[in-house]
Structure 1
Amino acid sequence: MADEDQQHGSTSCSNSNAESRCSSNVDNLQKETDLENMKDGWLMKRTKMSQKWKKQWFSLRKSTLFYGDDVESATKSICLTGAEIAEADIDKKSFAFKVTPKGRKRTFFIHAENETDQQEWMQAICFAKAASHQGDASQACVVQ
């Protein structure tokens, strides 16, 4: 599948600390009151089957990135614990990046409207990933 193709980017985030579990329970999104590692907004995600780009609402909560067609339906999830995050060169899309969850073959391709949004999302995802290992965001990723 094309979503599983490994596109190499120039920015990446990695963490070699012990693996911790990530809950993809939808209730966590609705019950989450902790403001740490939260980010919400519209991004474009490349669909798995048709490989077309679709506007999706994303919500970052702790070490899980939720997405869906709108705020209420953002129930699909990507576990960020141990995930690889990097810029992506795909479909001639500017401001694209990819998230490959640990232990999964699928790579999620996402692109933002502008470079600032791309960098903010990648940084927030990297902080969330690091915090899932340490309980805080002390292992910040450098996104260039």
Structure 2
Amino acid sequence: RSKSMVLGELTRVSRPCSPLDHEKALKAGWLKRQRSIMKNWQLRWFVLRTEALYFYKDQDESKAQGCIPLQGSQVNEVPANQDEPGRHLFEIVPEKDRTGISHESFLLMASSQSDMEEWVRAIRRAIWAPLGGVFGQHLEETMLYESQCGPQRLVPVLVEQCVCFIRENGLKEEGLFRAPGQTNHVRELQDAFDRGEKPVFDSTDVHTVASLLKLYIRELPEPIIPFSKYTQFLSCAQLLTKDKEMGITELGKQVKSLPQVNYNLLEYICFLDEVQSHSNENKMSVQNLATVFGPNILRPRVEDPVTMME
């Protein structure tokens, strides 16, 4: 296992450690970092941004104590040590410098396994985003990036690939979109797409592919129906219960007013109509599909149980 290094002790991390004020935090929370000389652990408040992972002495501090540059780096989970149970470690391995020398890695400790896994995924996403990361990226950005790298598509490659696979292999699969896929395999596929790869689904379980599609839609920073359209669409739903014909007309107007990329994605995942047409076999009625997909298609900016039920 490569050793960690004291942040800020070497010139490699002596670059300015002040993030831009307008730069949005991708994730924040408490982590312990290991110092290289004393080998002791320091609890610090970490903030993940696009280019680097910044750390602060306290949550309210405005000036970072240091930062870990992310460009070209890798992040890996460190296997659990039986002699030291309860340590949830991961490391950030910097890129080699121009002389080809590998620097020591930064060793960090999370409070739980799930917290560690969330940090690893978030940091990987930040590293891969400039390379065409998919999950957690705005739909418009993904479509723009993919249009520059290949043939013009209406929806992201991931969505197209998932839907085609489900059409061919799983429309009659019981519990489609309700039964969970294999968590580890979903994560592997997610990481592969974020790296710009196009993994083949040949031997993949259809529930895993369905879970991957749901995860992509759920992690969009803004739902398929934008936050700005939420109240209008909710009003359509209420109007449908009073006057179905008028409600359908108004709903049509609202759908056509969506941004083009959102409209294309919404239209594409309406293959769910094919899924419910096989509900005798897959047990996924319109109501079941609405329960699964509804919150991922239409949700308010600030969620609460009452609005979610509406």
TM-superposed CA distance for 1:30, in Å, is 4.5
Shift of 1:119: 0.8
What's the C-alpha RMSD, in Å, of the aligned pairs?
2.5
Residues 43-72 of structure 1: per-residue CA shift (max 9 Å, x gap): 011112101111011000113101132232
- What is the TM-score normalised by the length of structure 2? 0.34
- The residue identity in structure 1 corresponding to 2:70 is L
- What residue number does 1:19 align with? none
Listed as ranges, the gaps of 5+ residues in structure 1 are 5-23
Instruction: Report if the CA contact (8 A) 2:54-2:66 is conserved.
Output: yes
The aligned runs of 1:68-79 (5 Å cut-off) are 68-71=56-59, 72=61, 73-79=63-69
Find the aligned partners of 1:39 and 1:66 in 2 and give their Cα distance: 11
**Matches of 2:4 and 2:51, distance apart in 1:** 22
Q: How does 1:52-91 map to 2 (within 5 A)?
A: 52-71=40-59, 72=61, 73-89=63-79
The match for 2:134 is 138
Select the structure with the greater relative contact order (CA < 8 A; seq sep ≥ 6): 1
Identity of aligned residues (%): 25
Report the secondary structure of 1:141's partner residue: helix
Structure with greater proportional helix content: 2
Asked whether the equivalents of residues 65 and 79 of structure 1 are also in contact (C-alpha less than 8 Å), the reply is yes
Structure with higher strand content? 1
Q: How does 1:100-111 map to 2 (within 5 A)?
A: 100-103=93-96, 104-111=102-109
Contact 1:58 1:74 in 2 (8 A): no
1:100 is displaced (CA, Å) by: 1.0
Q: Is the 8 A contact 1:97 1:110 kept in 2?
A: yes
Q: How does 1:1-144 map to 2 (within 5 A)?
A: 2-3=3-4, 25-27=16-18, 29-34=19-24, 38-71=26-59, 72=61, 73-89=63-79, 92=84, 94-103=87-96, 104-134=102-132, 137-138=133-134, 140-141=190-191
Aligned to 2:236: none
Between Structure 1 and Structure 2, whose CA radius of gyration is higher?
2
How much does 1:94 deviate? 2.2
- Distance in 1 of aligned mates of 2:41 and 2:123: 20
**After the TM superposition, which of the residue ranges 70-79 and 89-98 deviates more from structure 2?**
89-98
Structure 2 vs 1, CA of residues 70 and 30 (structure 1 numbering), >3 Å: closer, same or farther?
farther
Q: Is the 8 A contact 1:59 1:74 kept in 2?
A: no
